[in-house]
Structures are given as C-alpha cells and as structure tokens.
Amino acid sequence: MQKIEVFGANKLKGTVKISGSKNASLPILAATLLSRNKIKLKNLPKVRDIETMIKLIQTLGSKVNFKNNQLNINNNNQTKKFASYNLVKTMRAGILVLGPLLAKFGFAKVSLPGGCAIGTRPIDIHLKALSKLGASYKIIDGYVHAMAPQGLKGNQIRFSKISVGATENLILAASLAKGITILKNCAIEPEIQDLINFLNKAGCKISWLSKRTIKITGVKQINEINYSVMFDRIEAGTYLIAAALTEGKIKIKDVDPKIIQTEIKTLKKIGAKITSNNNEVNIIGKKKIKNLNIKTAPYPGFPTDLQAQIMVLLCKADKKSVIKEDIFENRFMHVAELNRMGARIYTQGNKAVVNGETKFLAAELMATDLRASVSLVLAALNAKGKSIINRIYHLDRGYENIDKKLKKLGAKIKRIN
C-alpha cells in the first residue's frame, strides 16, 4: 500500500494549475446516462472517484474512452439498469445514477451508497422526491429497487432540507419526465450550476425561478454534446490554505475567483494577502495568522470540504478559534491525528475549539477520509522533520497528482510503496 512522505518547513512558491472539479464531474457523468448519443467531456480530473464512476457507467453499458482528462462516451447500447454494491460502496455519488436510469427506462436497481465515513448521509430525501414524480420503491438487501412503469411525471417538490445530492438526482430525473417540475429549497453549489449548464447545452430546459427554486420542462431526448467541466474549487481552496500556512507565495490558475469569494474573504481575515483577476488568484502567506470563528454551511457559506484544511491553518493562529461543523455530524476524525502532531484541539459535539500557536511535530499518520487526509499533508508541510501519511487512497479519491503539484511548488514530498 502506498504512503506519502513529507519533509516539512518549506515555503511553497510558484504556480499551480487547478484540475477539473470532481464534484461537478460525478453528476455530469451520471447525466450522460440520459443520452442515447455520443458525448465528449473535457477537463475531467484523473482521480479515483472519477475512475470508479466511469467503471460504473461502463457496467451499465456505456462505451467509454478516457485519456488525457478527456472522455468520449457512446450510449447507443446502454441498456442495463443495475448498479452494483462493489462500485457504489466506495463513493456516495454512485446513487446519482438512480434518477437517470429511472427516467430513461422506468426501472433501476441501485446499491445504497458508500464514501467517506463522515456521517450517515441518508438518501430518504432523494427517494421521497422521486416518489412525487411517480416512482415507487423498495429497499431489499441493501439495494434500492425503483419503478415508474408509466414514466416519471412533473410535479412540485420542496426538499425538507438543502441537499446537494438530492437536488442533482431530481434535476437528472426530471429532465426526461413528462411535463414541468418545480424544485424548491434546492442546493445552489456551483457544481449544480455546472450540471444545469451541461444539460441545457444538451437540449434540456432548466431555469432558475429564484435563488433556490428550479423549473425543469421535460424533454424526450438528450443531444450530442461537447462540454468542459468547471474547475475544482475545493482543490483551489486547499492550495490557497497551503500557501497561507507555509508563508508561501503561489498563483493558482484556471479558476473563477467569483466562485471562491467566501474562501478568499476568509483567508484575508486570517491575514493572507490575496489578489485576483479573470482566471487566477495570487496569495502571499503572512507570518502572523489571526484567529477566526468559522461555521460550515451550504454554498455560498464556508464549505464543509475545506473544514479540515482551515483547521490546520487556525492551529497556527495567535489566539483560540472555534469551528462549527453544520453539514456532517462526524467530520472531526482528523482531530486526533493533528493532536498527535502537537495541536491542541478539543471537540464538543459539532464544535471544535482550536488553540493557536501550535508548533507541528513530524509524525507517522493515518488518513481517515478524503479531506482529513489532505489536512494531514498540510500539517506535515508545516512540521519540521519527516512525516509519513498512510492510507493515501483516500487522498487519491479527490486530488489529482497532489504530490507532483506540491513538489513543483517546492515541497519535499514523495510517494513511497
């Protein structure tokens, strides 16, 4: 099993190109199942979750060629409706094939999803909403058996809570449903807008009626399309935090600064100097890091996927900070490992009290989930001496060539077997 070895205490300097968004690519890959035509996708990141989703749509009958971050899909013979546990167990996004298969065929059998162990993440919101489009379902032996023999029909649906996955699944299902669907209390993450952009370019009729209300007029088929996926805002935020943490000076390219305004404002409050233009952001990390209280929230709030990373930075602040995790109930598993490195973090329910002025110590570490694993890399970059991070398959689920990119910025980092 591979590990990452980090020799810390280097200032990061240089330019890093941000990859395509994992969290936008996954629902767009699921959306390709709606089509019976050829689709070309560009700017897909080469990470494990994307490779898993590609394998999943291949098992469903899609013919796929993935090379140099570009994917060609032919769905002429895509007829299968069964998504197995072996693939869906490793990532929660696997459940996103449910809506397209149900809309296209009137039947789907999809395993309940897996992913990082950071909370229960029930799919009851997805299922209740799909039932309002005319679907019936049973859960048997860990599989959702969903049926709509007369096809899906448009309806008005209000989500009981804001859910990215449920919003995506219902957009996909309603795109081929008969009539008009109105979705209320939707998530508004940029990745959802990217999914809508993709679908509209392919001939769907989807529009925003208000901030969290979407109107979808069902169409009969999806056209051929050539589409480039948006940048990964979580990867961008991770490298910005890495620069702030190491007193570095880096430029991130191929981004839209407007999409990451919350992250930029947060890092400015903490003390980093940041400037931006059309498609790049420049950051200079300062020696003095200011404390800050943060709570995670749906977009445009501070993203839960950057909570672990910002916690590492706040360990270096001049005073105590408090982080409130309002999205997932079990997302502080990195705390124990950071404390082994010299941090003084205490958790109280969904709050973490982060004492500042930490001098990180090198250590051998164990990654527990995707974002926790990158937080350990960040802490190791700031620690004197050699740290070893185990179970980096978590890291490879969401960060493309992170060791190579960090090495290019001057980090002493290598992958070892």
Q: What top-level class would CATH report for the domain 22-228? A: alpha beta
Report CA-CA distances (Å) from 28 to 97, 189, 236, 389, 409: 10, 14, 20, 32, 31
Q: What residue type is assigned to position 153 of the chain?
A: K
Q: Percent of the chain having pLDDT more than 70?
A: 98
pLDDT tier, 118 (very low <50, low <70, confident <90, very high otherwise): very low
Chain-centroid distance of CA 277 in Å reads 24
- The answer to whether 372 and 333 are in contact (CB under 8 A) is yes
State mean pLDDT over 49-75: 96
Is the pLDDT confidence value at 300 over 70? yes
What distance in Å separates the CA atoms of residue 218 and residue 201, rounded to the nearest whole number?
Answer: 14
360 φ, ψ (degrees, to nearest 5): -65, 140
Determine the CATH number of domain 3-19+231-416: 3.65.10.10
Chain segment 281-296, per-residue pLDDT in tens: 999 999 999 999 999 9
State mean pLDDT over 220-239: 97
Count Cβ atoms below 10 Å from residue 344 Cβ, excluding itself.
14
Averaged pLDDT score across all residues of the chain: 94
Chain segment 72-107, per-residue pLDDT in tens: 999 998 999 999 998 888 788 899 999 999 999 999
Q: Which of 116, 186, 204, 315 is catalytic?
A: 116
Is the pLDDT confidence value at 237 over 80? yes
What does the buried/exposed string (b/e) look like for 27-49 if buried means 16 or more CB atoms within 10 Å of the residue's CB?
bbbbbbbbbebbbebebbbebbb
Is the pLDDT confidence value at 115 over 60? no
The reported pLDDT for the residue numbered 114 is 63
The reported pLDDT for the residue numbered 112 is 87
The reported pLDDT for the residue numbered 369 is 85
The reported pLDDT for the residue numbered 89 is 81
Determine whether 116 is an active site residue: yes
Report CA-CA distances (Å) from 260 to 162, 168, 256, 277, 406: 20, 21, 7, 12, 21
CA angle (42, 240, 267) in 5-degree steps? 130
The reported pLDDT for the residue numbered 120 is 44
Chain segment 167-211, per-residue pLDDT in tens: 999 999 999 999 999 999 999 999 999 999 999 999 999 999 999
Q: Percent of the chain having pLDDT more than 90?
A: 88
The reported pLDDT for the residue numbered 149 is 94
DSSP string, 223-252: PPEEEEPPB-HHHHHHHHHHHHHTT-EEEE
Q: Which part of the chain has CATH 3.65.10.10? A: 3-19+231-416, 22-228
Provide the 3-class DSSP secondary structure of residue 88. Answer: helix
Those residues with Cβ within 8 angstroms of residue 238's Cβ, 6 or more apart along the chain or in another chain: 306, 309, 374, 378, 399
Q: Residue 146's beta-bridge partner residues?
A: 108, 137
pLDDT tier, 134 (very low <50, low <70, confident <90, very high otherwise): very high
Is the pLDDT confidence value at 39 over 90? yes
Count Cβ atoms below 10 Å from residue 250 Cβ, excluding itself.
23
Give the residue among 202, 219, 129 at the shortest CA–CA distance from 167.
129
Provide the 3-class DSSP secondary structure of residue 270. Answer: helix
Chain segment 360-380, per-residue pLDDT in tens: 999 999 988 888 899 999 999
Those residues with Cβ within 8 angstroms of residue 306's Cβ, 6 or more apart along the chain or in another chain: 234, 237, 238, 241, 263, 371
The reported pLDDT for the residue numbered 116 is 42
What distance in Å separates the CA atoms of residue 64 and residue 183, rounded to the nearest whole number?
Answer: 32
